[in-house]
């Protein structure tokens, strides 16, 4: 099969259509958005806000973005004002729900050390979040051992309550109690998610917690590398077909 034919087949296939009782939890980078060389170079497809709005309407609002990004960036990328967002791997939830556990924040010394590390290594980047920090080295993969060593040294000499989480071409320091599964659990306890069958779509090891949480509610996870040929464009195309399918009224075929 030629590359063009394969693309055409993939664009009209994909996972089985979910039922009207589904709820979606969607990662951003590598899932809804193509990975960029730097996290600040991501290009947001102009159709994304309309797609998420359509999907929300088809599922009674049961759609959320759960991402490692900070809240302001995630909300700007999604472009839908009323969309629930679990930012910083669930450490920040908007709209806020009761029962959240106070989480630690990195010290100014940690943030300064991260900035100094990146400044000394062209091609790397220190990303600061409310409850964590990330060292990116996609353009300099040989810096991974040094990134992990720095974060390990910060944990050794600093306050407790943080852990190191590897990701795609990055290493993150974040609160031990923050993961995407926690965001799924909290949202599944309230309307419009409560009682639905959740589906988590992600591309990275950090999404596995969210997928595992969905399984607990009778749902499942979809992995972009396995279920969508590693292409966010195919994820968006499939979600568009889901929205269209679930929006049909009986008798429309």
Task: Give 125-141 as a DSSP string.
Answer: EEEE-SS-EEEE-TT-G
Active site residue 203: no
Predicted local confidence at residue 97, as pLDDT:
79
Residues in the chain: 253
Q: Report the C-alpha gap between 244 and 253 in whole angstroms.
A: 11
Q: Report the C-alpha gap between 231 and 155 in whole angstroms.
A: 35
Q: Report the C-alpha gap between 45 and 32 in whole angstroms.
A: 9
Average pLDDT over residues 133-145: 94
Render pLDDT for 100-113 as a digit per residue (tens, 0 to 9): 667 888 999 999 99
Q: What are phi and psi of 140, to 5 degrees?
A: -145, 70
Predicted local confidence at residue 252, as pLDDT:
46
What confidence tier does 99 reach under pLDDT thresholds 50, 70, 90?
low
What confidence tier does 159 reach under pLDDT thresholds 50, 70, 90?
low
Predicted local confidence at residue 158, as pLDDT:
67
Tokens 């996972």, located at residue: 15
pTM: 0.83
Q: Report the C-alpha gap between 202 and 114 in whole angstroms.
A: 27
Q: Does the structure show a pLDDT above 80 at 98? A: no
Structure-token pair, residue 24: 């979606």
Average pLDDT over residues 81-85: 94
Closest C-alpha among 187, 233, 179 to residue 210: 179
177: which residues sit within 8 A by CB, 6+ positions away? Answer: 101, 103, 161
Structure-token pair, residue 94: 């908007």
Q: Does the structure show a pLDDT above 80 at 4? A: no
Catalytic residue among 7, 21, 27, 94: 27
Predicted local confidence at residue 119, as pLDDT:
96
Cα-to-chain-centroid distance, residue 222: 13
SS3 assignment, position 87: strand
Higher pLDDT, 31 or 172: 31
Q: Does the structure show a pLDDT above 80 at 1? A: no
Helix ranges restricted to H, the chain: 3-11, 48-58, 71-78, 108-119, 144-157, 180-188, 208-216, 224-227, 232-247
Q: Report the C-alpha gap between 169 and 50 in whole angstroms.
A: 30
Average pLDDT over residues 36-60: 93
């Amino acid at each position: 099969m030629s590359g063009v034919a394969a693309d055409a087949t993939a664009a009209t296939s994909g996972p089985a259509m979910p039922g009207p009782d589904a709820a979606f939890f969607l990662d951003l980078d590598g899932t809804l958005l193509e990975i960029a060389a730097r996290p600040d170079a991501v290009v947001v497809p102009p159709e994304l806000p309309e797609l998420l709005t359509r999907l929300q309407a088809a599922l009674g609002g049961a759609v959320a973005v759960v991402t490692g990004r900070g809240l302001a960036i995630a909300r700007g990328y999604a472009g839908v004002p009323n969309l629930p967002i679990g930012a910083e791997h669930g450490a920040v939830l908007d709209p806020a729900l009761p029962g959240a556990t106070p989480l630690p924040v990195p010290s100014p010394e940690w943030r300064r050390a991260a900035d100094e590390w990146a400044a000394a290594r062209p091609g790397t980047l220190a990303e600061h979040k409310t409850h964590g920090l990330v060292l990116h080295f996609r353009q300099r993969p040989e810096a991974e051992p040094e990134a992990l060593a720095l974060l390990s040294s910060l944990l050794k000499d600093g306050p407790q309550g943080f852990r190191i989480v590897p990701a795609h071409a990055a290493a993150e320091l974040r609160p031990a109690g923050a993961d995407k599964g926690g965001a799924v659990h909290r949202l599944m306890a309230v309307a419009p998610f409560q009682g639905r069958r959740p589906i988590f779509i992600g591309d990275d090891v950090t999404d596995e917690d969210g997928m595992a949480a969905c399984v607990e509610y009778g749902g499942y996870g979809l992995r972009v590398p396995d279920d969508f040929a590693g292409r966010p464009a195919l994820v968006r195309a499939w979600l568009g077909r889901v929205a269209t399918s679930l929006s049909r009224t009986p008798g429309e075929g």
